[in-house]
């Protein structure tokens, strides 16, 4: 036998070590091959999961398939069959390949028996080596020592013990080699059969898929294109070809409904003609110029048949003044419900009564006298309004547009403002839409429910693009709104307002329909409260100045997104923290984040809980309010997305609202009449003068800061 010839020699320890190493490597090889098939099973499972996600999607509209539906159904059913085949393939690999390979060394009883032989053989091998060393030692001493008799005796005893151990070792060694060779042979046979079994399973799977593909191919080849076209024409061609009376009447219902919106009398006349006419089952022709909407004389059918029938025409009845009187309403026993009869009768009676009972109008030659005092007062009021309004073209639409577009900014400043604003807003790397949760802060409510008095609102919008918590671009815009509710009728007296800290604004655009600049005062404007009408009106828009050395004081929240994009898994961590350097100290409310994720997301895990929009392919989180006056630890939003392919890192959009504060330092106030020096005198004799003066102070000035394009780049 090969093992006896190779390892039965005078150096048993070296032979034993070689055979034992062979067995250890055999066990490791089985384990490594089993691990390979285990990884193969995981890959096949991922493939099946991908197919299952694909099978749950809807790809086509079945109404547009026609006769191609059979091909599509076969193709889609093929997907389900592949899932079944691959699932069976996975089970076979796990049960018949991986498990037998991994458990061969632990479940085979021959391997357990061999371990006992290895233990005994190891002891004999070490004993043999020790006795062999003693024999060699005595031989060396006998050659150099003078006491040869004593050494020879010890040498003879050592050689005898060595021979006994060698005989026992050879006996055990022969048994061990025999068992080792048998186990090695069985192992290799098992490995060969297992791999052959795997290939047989794989061949069966491939054969089933080939047969399925051939079946699908046959269905595709059998698809008749000409039949599909003919089937479409035969079903949809009824819309443009003549048919039976029932088919034509069903398709003309929409036309009749359209005509009913134009003339009730015309509809009655047509219906009366139809009730008196005699129709034949087949129509000879249809007007070629109708384009689907027939003329009123042929509402649903064409009365021209192979044999013409005369239709009686009702006589037109007129009253004494020449107006036509509608004929009596016909009975619609077979064509309408009782409700339609009642409605039709009611309309007929109303029309008849209105035609017969005409109002007599006479023009008398006398002239109505006018009150000269009232005419003079009205003319004075008109002149006052004309003097207070800006110069613009009156009576034309272009004049109204020019009046609203007028600003006090220079041409250069306006161009610069527009360029700066568009450069930031248009350079936004993403467009994120948040779900609408609140109404506009300036949404108008009924003037009846609003308390009386003058109110102002200042709303600012901060647009920021940041990276790693640092601002790269920033723009702050705002608008001032005024609302006035009063019971005073004569409230046409202009009042003067002042924009406090007006010099801190980079650009300002007053609404010249309401605000009129005061000469020599760049921060003061006159406004006529009578033009406000009780509804909130935006009177000015502006751009605030940004200190380039301290941009951080305009950033309420530091946001930093971190992405990890793998082929089938995307991980996202959004860290955010209150910026202690921000000048806002109120509460940050309506805080939310939105992040778009591409790569065909199939499953989402998030902490805290978020909302995934399949339509927009984006993730939305609503976060609790944060107090900007209290320093907070860095918080995190964690999300994991299972994708079909690798995603790309995307910016994070943030939305928030802070009420009661502004990022700029502006405010608004009323300039007292004693300070304005405009020559307007108060009307002391007016009964409403006290109420008039008390109303011209701001009862409330509301402020808020909201986010615009607030983007955190990855």
pTM greater than 0.85 (yes/no) = no
Residue 100 CA from chain centroid, whole number:
49
Buried b (16+ CB within 10 A) or exposed e, 527-555: bbbbbbebebbebbbbbbebeeeebbebb
Tens digit of pLDDT for each residue in 69-112? 899 999 989 999 999 999 999 999 999 999 888 877 666 767 76
CA atoms within 13 A on the CB side of 79: 15
Domains of the chain with CATH codes = 2-222 (1.20.1270.60), 411-679+686-714 (2.60.40.1170)
Tens digit of pLDDT for each residue in 294-324? 333 433 334 443 444 444 444 556 566 566 6
Determine the pLDDT at residue 403.
43
Tens digit of pLDDT for each residue in 465-475? 999 888 999 99
Tens digit of pLDDT for each residue in 245-290? 344 444 444 444 434 433 434 444 433 443 344 334 443 433 444 3
Least confident of 115-119, 221-225, 297-301, 362-366: 297-301
Instruction: Give the separation between CA 178 and CA 113, rounded to whole angstroms.
Output: 12
Tens digit of pLDDT for each residue in 493-537? 788 999 999 998 999 999 988 899 998 889 999 988 777 767 788
Chain length of the chain: 714
Which has more pLDDT, 394 or 224?
224
Instruction: Give the separation between CA 545 and CA 475, rounded to whole angstroms.
Output: 9
Q: What is the DSSP letter of 181?
A: H
Angle at 106 between CA 101 and CA 112, to 5 degrees: 135
Determine the pLDDT at residue 328.
59
> 99-107 vs 109-144: helix axis angle to the nearest 10?
50
Mean pLDDT score of the chain, rounded to an integer?
A: 73
pLDDT at 14 over 70: yes
Alpha helices (H) along 8-147: 12-55, 69-93, 99-107, 109-144
- The alpha carbon dihedral of 313, 317, 321, 323 has a sign of negative
CA atoms within 13 A on the CB side of 581: 10
Q: Which two tokens stand for residue 18?
A: 């070689």
| Kind of pairing between the strands at 453-467 and 698-713 | parallel
Least confident of 204-213, 258-267, 460-469: 258-267
Q: What is the DSSP letter of 356?
A: H
Please answer whether residues 107 and 72 qualify as being in contact, where contact means their C-beta atoms are separated by less than 8 angstroms.
Answer: no
> Phi and psi for 124 in degrees, rounded to 5?
-65, -40
Tens digit of pLDDT for each residue in 342-371? 444 444 444 444 444 444 555 555 555 666
Residue 175: left if φ>0, alpha if ψ -120 to 50, beta else—which one?
alpha
């Amino acid at each position: 036998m090969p093992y006896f010839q190779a390892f039965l020699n005078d150096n048993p320890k070296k032979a034993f070590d070689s055979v034992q190493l062979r067995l250890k490597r055999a066990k490791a090889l089985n384990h490594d091959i089993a691990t390979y098939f285990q990884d193969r099973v995981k890959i096949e499972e991922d493939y099946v999961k991908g197919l299952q996600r694909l099978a749950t999607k809807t790809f086509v509209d079945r109404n547009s398939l026609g006769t191609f539906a059979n091909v599509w159904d076969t193709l889609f059913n093929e997907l389900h069959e592949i899932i079944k085949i691959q699932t069976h393939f996975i089970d076979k690999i796990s049960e018949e390949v991986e498990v037998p390979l991994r458990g061969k060394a632990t479940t085979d009883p021959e391997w357990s028996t061999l371990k006992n032989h290895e233990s005994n053989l190891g002891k004999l091998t070490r004993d043999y080596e020790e006795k062999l060393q003693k024999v060699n030692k005595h031989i060396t001493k006998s050659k150099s020592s003078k006491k040869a008799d004593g050494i020879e005796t010890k040498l003879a005893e050592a050689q005898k013990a060595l021979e006994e151990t060698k005989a026992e070792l050879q006996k055990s060694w022969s048994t061990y080699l025999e068992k080792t060779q048998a186990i090695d042979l069985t192992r290799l046979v098992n490995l060969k059969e297992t791999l052959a079994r795997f290939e047989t399973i794989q061949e069966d799977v491939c054969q089933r898929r080939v047969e399925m593909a051939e079946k699908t191919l046959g269905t595709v080849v059998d698809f008749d294109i000409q039949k599909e076209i003919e089937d479409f024409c035969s079903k949809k061609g009824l819309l443009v070809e003549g048919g039976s009376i029932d088919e034509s009447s069903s398709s003309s219902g929409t036309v009749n409904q359209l005509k009913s919106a134009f003339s009730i009398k015309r509809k009655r006349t047509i219906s009366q003609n139809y009730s008196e006419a005699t129709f034949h089952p087949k129509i000879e022709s249809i007007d070629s110029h109708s384009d689907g909407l027939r003329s009123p004389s042929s509402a649903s059918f064409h009365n021209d048949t192979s044999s013409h029938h005369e239709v009686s025409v009702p006589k037109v009845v007129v009253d004494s003044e020449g107006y036509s009187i509608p004929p009596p309403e016909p009975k619609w026993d077979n064509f309408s419900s009782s409700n339609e009869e009642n409605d039709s009768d009611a309309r007929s009676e109303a029309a008849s009564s209105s035609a017969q009972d005409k109002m007599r109008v006479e023009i008398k030659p006398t002239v109505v006298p006018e009150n000269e005092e009232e005419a003079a007062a009205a003319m004075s009021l008109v002149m006052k309004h004309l003097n207070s309004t800006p110069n613009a073209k009156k009576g034309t639409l272009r004049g109204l547009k020019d009046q609203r577009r007028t600003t006090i900014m220079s041409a250069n400043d306006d161009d610069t403002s527009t360029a700066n604003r568009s450069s930031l807003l248009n350079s936004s790397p993403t467009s994120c839409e948040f779900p609408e949760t609140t109404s506009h802060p300036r949404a108008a409510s009924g003037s009846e429910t609003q308390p009386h008095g003058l109110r102002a609102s200042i709303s600012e919008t901060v647009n920021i693009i940041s990276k790693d918590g640092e601002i790269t671009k920033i723009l702050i815009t705002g608008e001032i709104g005024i609302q006035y509710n009063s019971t005073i009728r004569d409230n046409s007296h202009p009042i003067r307002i002042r924009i406090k800290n007006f010099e801190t604004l980079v650009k300002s655009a007053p609404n010249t329909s309401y605000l009129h600049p005061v000469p020599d005062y760049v921060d003061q404007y006159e406004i006529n409260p009578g033009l406000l009408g009780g509804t909130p009106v935006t009177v000015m828009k502006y751009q605030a100045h940004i200190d380039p050395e301290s941009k951080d004081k305009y950033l309420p929240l530091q946001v930093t997104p971190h992405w990890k994009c793998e082929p089938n898994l995307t991980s996202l961590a959004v860290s955010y923290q209150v910026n202690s350097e921000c000048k806002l100290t109120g509460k940050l409310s309506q805080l939310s984040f939105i992040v778009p994720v591409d790569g065909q997301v199939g499953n989402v895990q998030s902490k805290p809980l978020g909302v995934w929009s399949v339509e927009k392919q984006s993730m939305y989180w609503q976060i609790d309010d944060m107090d900007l006056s209290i320093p907070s630890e860095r918080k995190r939003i964690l999300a994991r997305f299972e994708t079909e392919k690798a995603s790309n890192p995307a910016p994070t959009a943030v939305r928030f609202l802070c009420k009661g504060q502004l990022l700029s330092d502006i405010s608004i106030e009323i300039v007292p009449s004693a300070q304005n020096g405009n020559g307007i005198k108060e009307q002391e004799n007016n009964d409403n003068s006290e109420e008039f003066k008390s109303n011209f102070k701001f009862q409330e000035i509301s402020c808020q800061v909201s986010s615009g394009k607030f983007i955190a780049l990855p």
